Structure 1
């Protein structure tokens, strides 16, 4: 049995600070730090968890990781004690990809709250529901979040984007982006054209061809986005997918080694 590799106090503090000491589970978001009855102390109900196991007999163990990687910030996720127990006792339900998406979205959520007063433009009480409802997908992709409840919105028009989110989307181009439409429906076609124009406006590409209509069996509805930028919370397509989800769209997002695509299908 290998020895357990623990996080340093510095890594623990960084992990907590990067999510504002909120649990990273999107179904939870508990505050994990508060005052103790003793004025010289604080009470904490959060802890840092290993995304890939701290030891050989732990959940999600990766034998190819070095001890330095195992104890690094990239392997850390801040959770409340309940959610930490949950992910480790049911590791098959909470794989590495899921936990990384939790962490990325928790950091984006914490960033959106920075500098704001409670009740003044924050959306903590209206945070979206679970971003991870299914991850057992086929076709060589790893789906990081699925939210298939029917396409609630069918247009980008009339929506607003916070400046920090827009800056994140504009941070870099998206190589060889393709927009694919799976319906001849007029409303769906108009939405697909809006997405193509949006991609051009934010600088992802100089030109996006009008979406081609494809036919075939589908296992999703709404918008399915695939990206080649594996495990990158700064990926413009990941930020775009999260913004669509928070704006009321039926969205799924996945990573794939082959292409950057935005797939649109009728609900």
Structure 2
């Protein structure tokens, strides 16, 4: 049995996907003016081969059983992609779709974090490459000196704001190390953030962060309201570094198998110019 919060999130997500579907895409001739955007509930139910009352209750978050087969049938009608179908399965309490790697659960407890001496050794060993340890919520947990040099404003932030999603949407774009291509990646970042949220939907720390982000950033609130989900992925980040210029870094992420929910990300310069500028920045910092 799923929790009330998971059922409510599942219903809201399905409703948002239903409203984005057009009758034409579903093979339904458009006849006259429609009062609601997208498909009607009864149309989804008919096309998926389920009862109208059952599907209505599913969207309303009522405590009903929903098998994987039936959810997949609804997903096909709503044209859900693999990440969205995985999200639906998790919210319903069913097994996620098989993937090449399994996403770690949890976010790392304080006790775990205090004993990560082996990770601290790794962070130091990869110098002079920037490296950071983050949890599923994208909180910055550990970092090396090169990462601090590239991201001084982020590391200097209050601990509860030392978070990469917060920094992207609320952080000072004019500070040293700010990411300058964030607007281009914003929708993908929020979709991946919701995907991870599906693993921690009953965690009050997650809910608190999302509420703060929605209040502090209208762009985040607008993207969060779309309910889009996407499997997390890594992409290059372009930093603005005063006195040096732009530095483009390519991330490589590694999940910690013995510390679920934590991942180590190491950044390498994406091109010769970025490598030269990073070297110049580190030389200046050590002078």
TM-score using structure 2 length: 0.21
Report which of the two has the higher share of helix: 2
**TM score, norm. by length of structure 1:** 0.22
More strand by share: 1
* Structure number with larger C-alpha Rg: 2
